[in-house]
Structure 1
Amino acid sequence: MLQLQLKNNKIRLIVCGGDGAVLLANGGNVLIMDKSTGYRPLKGLDNRQVIQIACGDHHSLALTNDGQVLVWGENSHGQLGLRKDHPGSPSAQHVQSLSGIPLAQISAGGDHSFVLSLSGVVFGWGKNSAGQLGLGDTTDRHVPTAVNSLNRKKTVSISCGAEHTATLSKGGTVFTFGSGGCGQLGHNSFRDEHHPRVVAELWGSEVSQVTCGRHHTLVSIASSKLIYSFGCWIQGKLGNGKMIKKFVPFPYLLHTECNQEYAIEKLVAGENNSFALFFKELGNESAMSKPNLSRGIVTLNERMIDRWVSERDSWVTIKREITKMFSSAACLNGSFLKARELNCIQPEIPLICVSQVVKVVEQMLRSLNPNPVGEESLRLYILLPELIRHLQKQRRTELTEALASKALQLDPDAHKVLEKYWSKLPDDWLKNLVKLFRKASAELIGQISCGKMNQDIQHLEKFLKILQMIYQVCCSANRDIPNRDFIIHEISDLLDTVRTKAIVNSRTIKILFKFPFAADTASKWRMFRYLRDEWIQSIHVIYNDNTNMLRINRESLLTDTLEYLRQNIHSFFHRLEVTFIGENGRDMRGLSAEFFSLLSQSLLKWEKKVLEVHESSLVCLSHISHTSNRDFYYLGVICGMALYNHHYINIGFPLALFKKLLQQSPTLNDLEELSPVEARSLKSLLEEDEDEVVDMLFLDFTVKGQELIPNGNQIPVTRANRQKYVDLYVDFVFNKSVNSQFEHFSEGFFKGCPFDAWSMFHPEELQELLHGSPEYKWKELQQCASYEKCSASDELIKNFWTVFSELSEENKRKFLIFLYGTDRVPVGGFSKRSLKILLSDCPDAEDRLPEAQTCFGKFILPKYSDINTLRDKLIHAISFCEVFGRE
């Protein structure tokens, strides 16, 4: 027996392995003991406070109070968890892949290792020849790997043998896996188990401890003061007095004195021996001296925060604690395992504390592992935004950028986990997350608009990528976070400066284009136009001829248009210009606007019946089979040309059509928009509670004589299959019944609008872009008017607006056609369209009608002597004048 002179080191734990023993002193120092040198400090653990140690055959583990796992020894089977080609190390090495995971326990087997997180997640690595890692195979692992089959088992402790492993779950359930050749798994067999398997003989016993020896296993049940053993019988290590193998748990009869006065505190299983440590029951004097044999990592608590706020401790002590807490991803993670609010880290902490927090969090962010081995470390990406959002603007932006960079470095699987976490956040946390990255984006866009942008513009793209991930989560999880919460209003200011700072802003617009959720409809429309014009300019450099002149008769407008398109001479990349044969006027957008307005009316009256009007007054592609598919193609071409040339088609297409163009699936709500009675019947079917009522409807899987599924006319609709019936019904209406028609329409649409940036719009926005805004705010038209050779206070102008306000809704729309060539309201309202009223002070004013320069939104108003003359002339002009163009 060797007596060690440990001087001032008070040893609180000793563990033994194949290469010697490891000692843990009260101060967290680790000492290595071997036959040749006695004992020595371990290199690599300087200034680290170790709280747990574990030894395998030829390797060891240590857990520090800031959550780091350090390993040393041999790495023949990957038992160090560093990497496949690592040769092993005599000094302590950090297992970086476990960074950020708050650990509760470490354990070492023969040539394998395990750790357990505070929330019960189990990670194993190393030798797996007998399935001792519980991963369903016998392949060694060289990095920590989560044992997914133990998820949700609420594991509270873990122990490793030479080639087997045992875990204990909350509630007392024991799982074992790995080598079973000596019966050490307790499954009534000597077979190996590659997955964790419940020890059935102990089911319902509420086991309190489990520990593994080299080839045997011990468990204790505190309530009954029983110890069970199973496994190898050599040298009587099972404690049952018999030299036989036991492959099921067998109770060990304790001494009578132990049963009456003592409680089982700890089981220890070695290679060829077993020990049980007892303490007197609570209430006895000796129980007061029972040591705390398990210590955990440092976590934030109310007492610690209270000391910081009250500044009861010295700043040196506070700084040390802050550094320890916030520089460790594991400690910070472990502090908020439950969904607690981070109120304890808000501005009531002294400013000097906040400054220190920022400093150490910044360091911690830089050290985050981009490839974490488990889901738990990703909780930091939930916690850190809550911390960062309370900081001052400059530091908040810097840390937000660092956080975004780290989040974007995560692999796809980690992104999926992070998105799952986001989808389950409380609404206020999720809104705060959106607000943090939206605000950071807005600040950078504001700097760009003001010409103060000194940072890399790619920072903006990082923020927007994170926002996009959150936006997609909200959409897929149906979270109640409205689209407007993602909109960055500063984008509109940026677009206002696009001409003065063209180079920088052009780059920014191209970035924003990839994140359409961040802009409102009007801003997206402006971006679309800007990028389209830039694209046309680049095309013009290649093709000098950019003239697309369409000459048509008003009387045969649709026929002439189709004949022109069939000639295949139109360059869809360039702007369209229209000339009405026999009329003067140059198309500066006014004539082409009128052209599409008139063409819309012709399409609705087309004898080919490509369109059909529903009860809701909405217009759909006709399902009539004998209509030529080429007709649907040209309908699509015309609609695409209108969008590309920034004009409107006055046809009330349903939202479902635009969803399909954007490759989204129409729903029952879309059917309700199109056919309210039909949709309400289907909704009533889904809401019916009685089987008999559903059966009495005598429905089968057909729609208008068409089978929804094979033999659908023989399959009745029941409560069990009614959802399938409704889904197939909606699919039939919007897809199957018009599949060929829509394919040709969409082909034509893509042809007519070759610049596919329109895909940035939501279906509702695309509908508005093609059809115009549904809101006619007439007061806004007056507010946005400007005047030439007159003013708003003139009697004539007052009379005009009085007459205009008295017009019927129909006549007001006729005025829009008279003035602009279309009665459609632009996206963003009348404020997005020019209206200039010009006074014509001619001597024969009473004999003249008002005129319009449609291309420029200019209304020429003669100086009428009274309001009645003005009224008569205006109504006559808008009702009977068909020629609007003036150069």
Structure 2
Amino acid sequence: MLCYWGAQVREGFGLLKPEQVRHGNGGVKSICPKSAVQDMSAGKTFVGFIRDGKVSVLRLRDEDCNQDGKLKQLDLKREKIRSIVCGEDGAVLLADGGKVLLMDKYTVCRPLKGLDNTKVIQIACGDQHSVALSNDGQLFVWGENAHGQLGLRKEQALIQSPQHLQSLCGIPVAQISAGGNHSFVLSLSGVVFGWGSNSAGQLGLGDTTDRFVPTIVKSLSGKKTVSISCGGEHTATLSKGGTVFTFGSGGFGQLGHNSLKDEHHPRLVAELWGSKVSQVTCGRHHTLVLVALTNRIYSFGCGMQGQLGNGEQVKQSVPLPVLLPTDCNCEFTMEKIIAGEKHSFALFFKNPGNESTKPKSSMNGGILTLNDRMIDRWVSGSYPWPTVKKEIKKVFSSAVCLNGSFLKPSLDEQDFDLVGKSFSKLTDNEKVISEVVKVIQQTLLPSLNPKPAHEESLRLYLLLPELIKGLEQYQRSELNKALASKILQLNSAAREMLEMFWSKLPDDWLKSLVKLFHKESADLIDYMSVCAMDSDLKHLQNLLRILQMAYKVCCSTHRDITISDFIIYEISDLLNALQATIDDLADWDPFVDYVYMMKLRDYFIKTLEILVKFPFVADYASKRGIFNHLEIKMIRRSSNRFLGNATFNVLHINRESLLMDTLKYLRQNTHSFSHLSRVAFIGEDGIDMRGLSAEFFSLISKSFLKWDKKILEVHPSSLVWFNPHHTRGNKNFYYLGVICGMALYNRHHINIDFPLALFKKLLQQKPSLDDLEELSPVEARSLKNLLKEDEEVVDLLFLDFTVKGHELVPNGSQIQVNKVNRQKYVDLYVDFVFNKSVKTQFEQFTRGFSKGCPLDAWTMFHPEELQELLHGSPQYNWKEFQQSASYEGCSASDELIKNFWTVFFELSEEHKKKFLMFLYGTERVPAGGFSKRRIKISTRDCPDPDDHLPKAQTCFGRLVLPKYTDINTLRNKLTHAINVCEVFGLE
């Protein structure tokens, strides 16, 4: 059955005799043609009907002609039409095979050129422009473009042949709609894009500026829009819950807001709240909505020709029911509502029980998507291979198809379980998966837009890694390389959105993603270690950048993925290969190709320079190795450039005025910081083979602590921090930084116990309350208690936003700390201690540190690792120290050696550290423990051994013991020696 109302038309449209038309209340008429209407459309000039795939059109009366034409069946040859959309003076037809035909104002039909090999599934028509959607998700537009209604970024007045709307590439489209001079697209996940004329705010963007490119209607985000309809200058959207939003021109009441005002933002039609609307459609100046549960239609807007169906010819600004025939409610169910220029229509079919009378559904078709059933068909082998191959190309060459695939009913996320099972089937069929890989690599990936229109177009970046992980190694490597490159070509906003998607992935999917790129990176580094210069460094860098994105996600979301999941242990093999190459170059073997070996060394170094930018993939030992090799490169390059073959700076320093002499030397600006430093104590014969410089850094750091100007404060925790009151002579902090940087660069330790917070700040990380607790336990515990106390207790503390007389915020002394703002107070307190109170001091220190250590590879270390590099290991494992010992001219079983270890373990902790200072020039344990700094013990024959002290060769870590006659003598001599080590530890 077809119901219609509105301006006067030929009785029954010619679909049946006039006397067979039934007249109801409110001017609503109904007809039941023998051949059921499958679809129809009404425009300004024509109304068209589809019956049994054939199209009949009726020219409507207008100002020039006061009567309708006759119903005319179009000459379509053998084409079977499934959809028709009427524009201002013509129509667009869609055939079952996806072919598009145009009907002009003379009712002559012709195929639309330019879409010959395209299967169109939806069409939309405005006054003078049209939009088409193909089954692979491509959008095509043609017609008038004066207001940008084609969305092509161009201002051509007319485009006659279909043009691909590339700006929405990758968006899986659910519906297209066109109004007078504007257009809309709705994505599968409910994102709304509009463009074209916006004179009355019909794009819902909050203004009246036309748009020449598709623009997201942000105010509809989160509304879960399921359909859109465009009128002449207004738009209506329907949300999943059945709520209706309207916007644009409201001069006839067509927005339904009990007002004749325009609306520039989507506004809820309050009168329909709770009605659970199932369809909405816009005419030129009126709107219809259908509530399927009650089989009722509501109308609002212009009713001057009776198009509201309420028996009145008025403007109506609120939704009121259409007076449908009573038999509509009991015998028929409504299929579709249609609003035209001055007419309204409703298509009905018989209720269940007479299902055969139900017309073929005219609902818009959906884009082609990949699904489990399609994959089963491909891998079964029962379908002809050319057909399967064609389908694979169709699906896997289209970002739209993949982005719209495997969506849950909510349409806003993938069904990950189904994706995994389906892709697993694909990889079981070698022929199928090989074709899939070829299409992805040759067609899909090259076509991806680096500036996607919306986050929805990024879903394929979640699907592809799941597919790639099941491939054979060669296929996996090639696709990984291409995928990584495309991800990195995305603009920054798109990459951030992709990271957001990753953060919402199930744990097993995120782990799988990390594992995929981690394994590829590890395999490539492993290959480099063996085949070296055959590998692509750019590819390695791309893989590591993807891993870096995943690492960032895991850190920010605290996912169940540990740091060790990112560490590439094959880096140690690369370092071994580099060291072997360096050793070969040092051997001067006549059979070695030195030109090749130098190229190989430089290639390895370039690889390390890449790795240093991705510190999360290297363990501590590998980072130290990378740092050392890059340091050697810097020294070698600097030596060749400035000092010939020289690789050292020699500091001539008086032991008694060590600090002042050093500062005087540094102020001369003659020191080459890219070279290693060696020390010569004036008046002493010691030759610095690292022992004297180790002692130098140990002594000068202690001098900074004793300096009269008190640039450093020692806290009760024994940790050291900058003196916030030392505001004059900030150069002192600069030189302190220089010394610390030089110590790091020269691989020595300092005897200043800075808290971890310093190293966090150097690495641009934010210190926390826990860091304050390390530095000042009592102070921090008071703050922690403040966060736990009841509101009454907090109020009784009478705290304000000041610290030691300094206001944390403007007028802080007038702001009381309470339960609401106490967290802010604590955060500001910590920030004051570590940042604001020592801002100038730290800036100077940092500048000096970077000067003293010109190799910025130190930034790859974690704060704890950098602290250990500069301070040494906090663990004094004395048993390990004994086990690391080697012996020259004696053995561990000798009485003298037994006596030595007995005496050593009797020493207090303080004296054991003094022994280290005596032996090595520093009391600090190297990173990695005593195994990295061994003790060598030798004995010497001398007359009257009991009259001699032990001797330390600090540069070699060698202890020379006279052959004492008994343990007591050894104890006395050793104790005396370590207490005057500045005298005896000279070599």
Q: Please tell me whether residue 15 in structure 1 is matched to residue 85 in structure 2.
A: yes
Q: Specify whether residues 735 and 5 from structure 1 end up closer, same or farther in structure 2 by C-alpha distance, changes over 3 A only.
A: closer
Query: Aligned partners of 1:143, 1:626: CA distance in 2, in Å?
Result: 57
State the distance in 2 between where 1:264 and 1:72 align.
33
The one-letter code sitting in structure 1 at the alignment partner of 2:865 is E
1:696 and 2:792 are equivalent in the alignment: no
Q: Which residue of the other structure, out of 324, 337, 340, is the alignment partner of 2:415?
A: 340
In the TM superposition, residue 503 of structure 1 has moved relative to its aligned partner by: 1.9
Secondary structure at 2:110 match in 1: strand
Contact 1:583-1:883 at 8 Å conserved across structures: no
Which of 731, 738, 751 is matched with 2:838 structurally? 738
How far apart are residue 754 of structure 1 and its match?
4.0
| Alignment correspondent of 2:123 | 53
Q: Which amino acid aligns with 1:752?
A: G
Separation in 2, partners of 1:885, 1:87: 91
Asked if residue 707 in structure 1 is aligned to residue 807 in structure 2, the reply is yes
Q: What amino acid maps onto 1:375 in structure 2?
A: E
For residue 827 of structure 1, report the CA deviation from its aligned partner: 3.0
Shift in Å, 1:618: 1.4
Q: 1:777 to 1:53 in 2, by over 3 A?
A: farther
Q: State yes or no: 1:383 paired with 2:451.
A: no
Q: Specify which of 190, 196, 203 is matched with residue 133 of structure 1.
A: 203
Identity %: 67
Is the CA contact (8 Å cut-off) linking 1:609 and 1:627 kept in structure 2?
A: no
1:768 aligned onto 2:838: no
Q: Give unmatched runs, 5+ long, in structure 1.
A: none
| Structure with greater Cα Rg | 2
CA distance in 2, matches of 1:194, 1:327: 39
1:729 aligns with 2:804: no
Per the alignment, residue 543 of structure 2 pairs with: 463
| C-alpha distance in structure 1 between counterparts of 2:94 and 2:743, whole Å | 79
Aligned residue in 2 for 1:356:
435
Change (3 A) 1:113 1:862: farther
| Other-structure match for 1:509 | 608
Q: Which residue of 2 aligns with 1:493?
A: 573
1:865 and 1:387, CA in 2 relative to 1: closer, same or farther beyond 3 A?
farther
- Distance (whole Å) between structure 2 residues aligned to residue 883 and residue 722 of structure 1: 56
In structure 2, the partner of 1:219 is 289
TM superposition shift of 1:846 = 6.3
SS at 2:288 equivalent: strand
| DSSP-derived class of the 2:846 partner | helix
Higher mean displacement: 399-408 or 342-351: 342-351
Among residues 475, 488, 506, which one is paired with 1:395 in the alignment?
475
Q: Distance in 2 between matches of 1:783 and 1:96?
A: 71
Aligned-partner Cα distance in 2 for 1:577–1:637: 15
Higher alpha-carbon deviation: 875-884 or 171-180: 875-884
Unmatched 5+ stretches in structure 2? 1-70, 408-412, 582-599
Letter in 2 for 1:577: R
- Report deviation, 1:784: 6.3
Match of 1:416 in 2: 496
Q: Assess, with a 3 A threshold, how the Cα gap between structure 1 residues 266 and 681 changes in structure 2: closer, same or farther.
A: same
Deviations 1:539-575 (A, max 9, x none): 3444338763323343443344344445555444433
CA distance in 2, matches of 1:813, 1:436: 48
Residue 85 of structure 1: CA displacement? 5.0
Q: Give aligned pairs, total.
A: 885
Tell me, in whole angstroms, the C-alpha distance in 1 between the residues paired with 2:183 and 2:894: 90
Tell me, yes or no, if the aligned pair for 1:449 and 1:494 is still in contact at 8 Å: yes
Residue in structure 2 matching 1:280, options 339, 350, 358: 350
In the TM superposition, 1:249-648 aligns within 5 A as 249-286=319-356, 291=361, 293-308=363-378, 313=383, 315-337=385-407, 338-341=413-416, 342-349=419-426, 350-352=428-430, 353-362=432-441, 363-477=443-557, 479=559, 481-498=561-578, 500=581, 501-544=600-643, 548-566=649-667, 569-625=670-726, 628-648=729-749
SS in structure 2 opposite 1:107? strand
Is the CA contact (8 Å cut-off) linking 1:80 and 1:88 kept in structure 2? no
AA aligned to 2:627 is: F
> Can you list the C-alpha shifts for 1:87-139, whole angstroms capped at 9, x where unaligned?
75444332222222221111112222111111111111222222222112222
SS in 2 for 1:576: strand
Indicate yes or no: 2:898 matched with 1:821: no
Structure 2 distance, partners of 1:339, 1:678, is 50
Cα offsets for 1:643-678 (capped at 9, x unmatched): 232211122101112222333332212111112222
More moved, 231-240 vs 142-151: 231-240
> Closer, same or farther in 2 for the Cα pair 1:460/1:801, shift >3 Å?
farther
Deviation by residue 1:704-731 (Cα, 9 ceiling, x = unmatched): 3443334434432111111121122112
Displacement, 1:287? 6.3
CA–CA separation in structure 2 for the residues paired with 1:399 and 1:476: 28
Alpha-carbon distance, 1:324 to partner? 3.4
Provide the rounded CA distance (Å) in 1 between the counterparts of 2:517 and 2:969.
Answer: 59
Are 1:660 and 2:739 matched, yes or no? no
Letter in 1 for 2:459: R
- Letter of the 1:641 counterpart: M
- Aligned match of 1:42 in 108, 112, 116? 112
**Is the 1:854–1:884 contact (alpha carbons within 8 Å) kept by the matching residues of 2?**
no
The 3 A distance-change label for structure 1 pair 737 and 825 is same
**1:681 equivalent in alignment to 2:782:** yes
| Cα distance change, pair 624–282 in 1 and its aligned pair in 2 (3 A) | same
Q: How far apart, in 1, do the equivalents of 2:814 and 2:492 lie?
A: 46
Distance 1:560 1:867 in 2: 42
Aligned partner of 1:209 in structure 2 is 279
Instruction: From the superposition, tell whether residues 789 and 87 of structure 1 become closer, same or farther in structure 2 (CA, over 3 Å).
Output: farther
Q: CA deviation at 1:249?
A: 2.3
Matched residue, 1:103: 173
Query: Residues of 2 paired with 1:404 and 1:236: CA distance?
Result: 61
Could you say if the C-alpha distance between residues 867 and 48 of structure 1 is closer, same or farther in structure 2, counting changes exceeding 3 Å? farther
Q: For 2:425 and 2:526, how far apart are their aligned partners in 1?
A: 30
TM-score using structure 1 length: 0.91
> What TM-score, normalized to structure 2?
0.82
Q: 1:291 to 1:846 in 2, by over 3 A?
A: same
SS at match of 2:474: helix
CA distance in 2, matches of 1:382, 1:795: 70
2:107 is the alignment partner of 1:28: no
SS of the residue aligned with 2:193?
strand
Residues 628 and 277 of structure 1: is their aligned pair in 2 closer, same or farther, counting only changes over 3 Å? same
Superposition deviation, residue 876 in structure 1: 6.6
Secondary structure in 1 matching 2:254: coil
Q: Is the 8 A contact 1:447 1:453 kept in 2?
A: no
The 3-state SS of whatever aligns with 1:585 is: coil
Correspondence 1:170-189 to 2 at 5 A? 170-189=240-259
Equivalents in 1 of 2:575, 2:969: separation in Å? 44
Letter in 2 for 1:461: Q
- Of stretches 39-48 and 590-599 in structure 1, the one that deviates more from structure 2 is 39-48
Query: Any idea what the Cα deviations from partners look like across 1:589-636, whole Å, max 9, x if unmatched?
Result: 211001112223333333433322223221112234587544434333
One-letter amino acid of the counterpart of residue 603, structure 1: F
Which shows bigger deviation, 669-678 or 772-781?
772-781
Provide closer, same or farther for how the CA distance between residues 110 and 577 of structure 1 changes in structure 2, counting only shifts above 3 A: same
Counterparts of 1:139 and 1:674 in 2: how far apart (Å)? 59
- RMSD after superposition: 3.4
Deviation at residue 817 of structure 1 after TM alignment: 3.0
Alignment partner, residue 3 of structure 2: none
